[in-house]
Structure 1
Amino acid sequence: MTEWYERSFGEDYLLVYKHRDVQGAKREVHTMISWLELPAGAKVLDLCCGMGRHSMALVEAGYEVTGIDLSDVLLREAQNHDPEGRVAWLKGDMRNLPLEGGFDAVVNLFSSFGYFEEDTEHIKVLKEIRRVLKPGGQFIIDFLNPSYTVKHLVPRSERVDEGQRITEERSIQDGYVKKHIEIQSMDSSSSEEPRRYLERIKLYNREDFTEMLTQSGLQLEHVYGGYGDIPYDPEASSRMIMVGRSL
């Protein structure tokens, strides 16, 4: 059985999320650098790197960067943006990383977590982060803030891009935020069927993460509500950005 994330992170993902910008990634990396205080040349793993925006910003900041993702399509895009091969791009499942240890930091950004049904699967991810980190190595997990997400959920949105109508329907069900995406050609002569995708993320709160991180040999040290040292407010913050280190 194909999992939702194996279907969703393909060619259509590039269309749905084409608005994500490189300059924004550079600003976010600048903030991450101030939090981690890593020396030049430090080894950083971008876990679930997607199209590689943050990986490229990290390598430009002077770090030795590895980007890993399960999607062939997103890794292809990442490599296209890195013609000099400055980042080591790898395909892999975040629950079983094809890597040895020795990283100074692992970053997992934009809610690239909570994809699975069982808590044990998410703990596997955290244990892999712990395994590949040096003793005392640091991590950043940038996750959605559940309370804010529930309160500000936009049930439905629609737009047209590149001749395609993109409809997104969002809901909270069984402890997950779910997004159903439908993409259909605007060409009236087209007989093409709509393409439909699901995205699903489990709504873990700060207490949930603290418990799972502790079970995995990781310690949560700071939580921010956004980039730029924005304090975390459980109700008002749009993000829950967790910074800590391996025990």
Structure 2
Amino acid sequence: MAHYLRAYQKTHTNELATAQVDGAVTLAGTPPDGDVLDAPCGAGRHSRALAASGHHVTGVDSSQDMLDAARAVHAPAGVQWVRADYRDLPFRAGTFDTVLNLFTSFGFCGDDGDQAVLDEFQRVLRPGGRLVMDTTHRDRVISELAAKNRTDVAGQAGETTWDVHSGWMHMSLLDRTDGHRSVSRIRVYTPSELDRMLVRAGFREVSVFGGLDGRPLGRRTRLVVVAA
């Protein structure tokens, strides 16, 4: 966890988190004092920004270390931290006005597990509520890997490979400060694949954008999905 937080602490500012959640709740049409689920919440930067703007926020993460990091930073009133797997959320149906899934936090559970995540997001939303997902997509990954497959983030050297047959992206990150290497993988979906999964979960209206500011989707943009 320490390596993850160090890699992004300079770029993941409070100002950026505020701009991102402002864009997300605008796309979702969230009421000014609405109930919002941030899943997974990580170290809580988006949850704190949501609470600061007046929302009632529940931040969910399966990592106790991440939740401890979230609790270690002063948060405005209105934030609740919950440890849970987002494939099996401990909330009643229709609890939230909005569900946010931000910063490429989807695709880690395999096709069936990822479908279960979307099923749960739909279940805990109130009628008329919306899910906002901010992630990457296949065309963007392929475009970036065509140019280079190495990155350097805060002293951590990264290498990424793409399996065209399975749709899995494999990432390896080496921290130059202590030699620690972390390995992860994520299933990267196309917009049409994700659309079908959302419809299967029970969502009725699905819109796609290229960012939380509502820009059009393109080959090199992010993928932002709004599902009602």
- Which region of structure 1 is more displaced relative to structure 2, 124-133 or 29-38? 29-38
Provide TM-score, normalisation by structure 2: 0.90
CA contact (8 A) 1:11 1:73 kept: no
Q: CA deviation at 1:11?
A: 2.2
2:186 equivalent among 201, 213, 232: 201
CA contact (8 A) 1:226 1:232 kept: yes
The percent identity for this pair of structures is: 31
Specify the structure having the higher radius of gyration (Cα). Answer: 1
What does residue 175 of structure 2 align with? 183
What does residue 149 of structure 2 align with? 155
Q: CA deviation at 1:222?
A: 1.6
Cα distance in 2 for residues equivalent to 1:221 and 1:40:
23
1:97 maps to a residue whose letter is L
Structure 2, gaps ≥5 residues long: none
The superposition leaves residues 194-229 of structure 1 with CA deviations (integer Å, 9 ceiling, x where unpaired) of 322112111201111111111111134321101222
Cα distance in 2 for residues equivalent to 1:106 and 1:128:
10
What does residue 14 of structure 1 align with? 5
The superposition leaves residues 148-205 of structure 1 with CA deviations (integer Å, 9 ceiling, x where unpaired) of 121113312346x5xxx5221111123112110122436xxxxxxx322112111201
CA contact (8 A) 1:106 1:138 kept: yes
Cα distance in 1 for residues equivalent to 2:101 and 2:78:
20
Cα distance in 1 for residues equivalent to 2:71 and 2:47:
11
What does residue 130 of structure 1 align with? 122
What does residue 210 of structure 1 align with? 195
What does residue 240 of structure 1 align with? 223
After superposition, where does 1:73-152 map in structure 2 within 5 Å? 73-83=65-75, 86-101=78-93, 102-117=95-110, 119-152=111-144
What does residue 44 of structure 2 align with? 52
Cα distance in 2 for residues equivalent to 1:35 and 1:28:
11
The superposition leaves residues 53-96 of structure 1 with CA deviations (integer Å, 9 ceiling, x where unpaired) of 11111111111100001111211121122355531001111111
Instruction: Give the match's secondary structure for 1:140.
Output: strand
Cα distance in 2 for residues equivalent to 1:208 and 1:44:
26
Q: CA deviation at 1:128?
A: 0.5
Higher strand share: 1
- Which region of structure 1 is more displaced relative to structure 2, 84-93 or 60-69? 84-93
Cα distance in 2 for residues equivalent to 1:220 and 1:201:
26
CA contact (8 A) 1:79 1:85 kept: no
Cα distance in 1 for residues equivalent to 2:217 and 2:39:
23
Question: Pairwise CA RMSD of aligned residues?
Answer: 1.7
Cα distance in 2 for residues equivalent to 1:84 and 1:23:
16
Cα distance in 2 for residues equivalent to 1:210 and 1:93:
23
1:136 maps to a residue whose letter is G
Instruction: Give the match's secondary structure for 1:59.
Output: helix
What does residue 210 of structure 2 align with? 225
Q: CA deviation at 1:241?
A: 0.2
CA contact (8 A) 2:119 2:201 kept: yes
Cα distance in 2 for residues equivalent to 1:86 and 1:38:
16
CA distance 1:60–1:85, shift in 2 (3 Å) = closer
CA distance 1:158–1:232, shift in 2 (3 Å) = closer
Structure 1, gaps ≥5 residues long: 1-9, 187-193
Q: How many residues were matched structurally?
A: 222
Q: CA deviation at 1:239?
A: 0.6
Instruction: Give the match's secondary structure for 2:43.
Output: coil
CA contact (8 A) 1:210 1:220 kept: no
Provide TM-score, normalisation by structure 1: 0.84
